[in-house]
Amino acid sequence: MATTQATTGTAGGVQPAVPGTPQGSGGVEREFTVKARSQRQQIVRRFLHNKVGMTGLVIFVALLVFGFIGPLLDGKSYSDLDSSAQSVSPGNQGYLLGSDAIGRDLLAGLMSGVQRSLFIVALFIAIALPLGLLVGALAGYFGKWVDSVLMRLVDLILTVPLLVVLIVVASNFPGSRTPLGVGIILGLFGWLDLARIVRSQFLSLREKEYVEAAHSLGASNSRIIFKHLIPNALGSLIVWTTLAAANAIILEASLTYLGFGVNGTNETSLGRLVSDGVQAASTRPWLFYFPGIVLLVIVLSINLIGDGIRDAFDPSNRRVRA
C-alpha cells in the first residue's frame, strides 16, 4: 500500500523540486544560483563601479597617451630651437600652444614634461615603497626595542619639514638636479609616512588567529610577513602609493620653483615648465597657464584614482554592491 501511494504521488502529483533545476517550461524557478566572487573580484568590481575612481583613471590614461604617444604623432622635440618663432602665441606659425622665448614648442615641452614627471613619480615609488614597507614591517611585527629604535628614527626625521630636507640635499649635490636625481632624492626621504602606516597595520594583523596558527605550525617570521601580513595590508599600500604619487609631483614642482629641482637646458618637467612660465605670466600667459593646467589635471586624476581605490578596499562601503 505504501509502495502504491509513493508511486501514484510521483507519477500524478507534484514532482519534488531539485535545487538548481528549472520546473518545466511554464514553471517558475524556485532557487537562484549566486556566483561567489573572490575578494579580489569584489574589489575590482567596486572600483569599476566607482564613478570618481573611473573618471580619474580615464583622465590619467589620456595623459599617458598624450605624453608617450603624442610625441610620435607630433614629430617635434622640445630641444629643437627656432630663432624665427620666438614667443609665438598659440595657434600661429604651426605652434598649437605657442612657443617660448628661444623658439621651443610648448606642446612638445608639455609632452616631455609629462614623461619626466611620471618618470620621477615611478622612481620615487620604486625607492620609497620598499623602504617604508621594510621599516614599518620590522617595527610592527617584532615590536619591543626594534619598534622603539625604528620609530624614534622616523620621528627624528619627521621633526624637520620634508621640503627643507630636500632643499638641503639638492643644494649640496648640484649634479642631482635631473629627473633621475630628483626622483632618487624624493624616494630616499618620502617613505616615512608609509612606515608609520605599515607599522600600525602590522600591530593589528599580528594578533589575528591565522598568524597564531601559522606560528603554531612552525612558519618562519619571513613567511608570515610575506605570505600573511603584507597581502592583508595591500589595500593601505595601494592607497598610499596613489596619494604619494600626486604628492611627489607637487614636491618636484615646489623644488623646481625654488630653484632646487630639475635644471638644465634640455631637461624639463611639468614643475620646470611652470617655474619658467611664472616670469612671463603677464606678457606670455600661455607659458604659465598651459603647464599649470596639465600639472593640476595630472595631480587631480591621481587623487581621484586613490579615492576610488580606497573606497574599493573598504569593506564597509556599500555604495556599490559587490
Residue 317 confidence class, pLDDT cut points 50, 70, 90: low
Residue 283 has pLDDT above 60, yes or no: yes
Q: How many CB atoms are located within 10 Å of the residue 59 CB?
A: 17
Cell numbers 625604528 correspond to 150
| Least confident residue range of 100-104, 126-130, 149-153, 182-186 | 100-104
The C-alpha atoms of residue 223 and residue 79 are separated, in whole angstroms, by: 50
**pLDDT value at residue 1:** 46
The mean pLDDT value for 307-311 works out to 84
**pLDDT value at residue 6:** 45
The C-alpha atoms of residue 214 and residue 197 are separated, in whole angstroms, by: 24
Summarised one tens digit per residue, pLDDT across range 117-127 is 899 999 999 99
| Least confident residue range of 54-58, 156-160, 171-175 | 171-175
Q: In Å, how far from its chain's centre is CA 59?
A: 13
Angle (CA) 75 278 103, round 5°: 35
State the burial class of residue 312 (Cβ atoms within 10 Å of its Cβ: 0-12, 13-18, 19+): buried
* DSSP tag of 126: H
Comparing C-alpha atoms, which of 42, 51, 45 is closest to residue 308?
51
**pLDDT value at residue 294:** 92
Domain ranges of the chain: 39-76+105-125+152-188+235-313
The mean pLDDT value for 143-167 works out to 85
Residue 115 or 160, more confident:
115
Residue 116 has pLDDT above 50, yes or no: yes
Model's pTM, two decimal places?
Answer: 0.78
Residue 128 confidence class, pLDDT cut points 50, 70, 90: very high
The C-alpha atoms of residue 15 and residue 23 are separated, in whole angstroms, by: 9
Residue 70 has pLDDT above 70, yes or no: yes
State the helix-helix crossing angle for 286-313 and 106-142, rounded to 10 degrees.
Answer: 30
